[in-house]
Copies of this chain bind each other. A is one copy, B any other.
Amino acid sequence: QSVLASQKSFRQPKPCKHLELYYHDILFDGTDAANATSAKAANQTALGNFKFGMLVVFDDPVTKDNHLLSPPVGRAQGFYFYNKKNDYNAWFAFTLVFNSTENKGTINIMGADLMAEESRDLSVVGGTGDFFMTRGIATIKTDIFQGAKYFRLKMDIKLYECY
């Protein structure tokens, strides 16, 4: 059975899987190694006043509710950097890593975090384990932003291709 991709013509389908998660980023300030879950790998440049070029590597906890101290159901491992000279704006690539009785496997995500928008869509470009070969959309919203120290994103992940 052979299907010509040029003939695929989908309308927006219903998700085959749906995850609601919270992502917590605690940026290392040089002294709080016990709590911090991310760190600056490259400093901001002198282009503009919005941290253009600052690169952050993270291994952040992911929880089911918006409490930082809730038991993590996974980790988000990857990086973001700021990339706008006249406002805050970022770009992300990361892996959600699940290793619980509920889910084992990973989800790979990348895309622009257009911080001026309330809601931003990233691409789910692949997955492994329970999420073998998945694709979809990860919609993120800033749940709280506490200066340079801590921010939290609500992630609404809709998978449209499941195996």
Contact = CB atoms under 8 A, between A and B. Distances in A.
B133 A128 contact: no
Contacts of A121: 105-106, 128-129
Nearest to A9: B2
Contacts of A161: 5, 8, 133
Contact of A28 (B45, B123, B133): B45
Question: How many monomers of this protein are in the complex?
Answer: 3
Interface stretch (A52-60, A63-71, A142-150): A52-60
Interface string A1-37: 1111111111111111000000000001010010011
A13 B6 CA distance: 5
Interface of A: 1-16, 28, 30, 33, 36-37, 39-42, 45-48, 52-55, 57-59, 77-79, 81-85, 89, 91, 93-95, 97, 105-106, 108, 110-112, 114, 121-129, 132-133, 135-137, 160-163
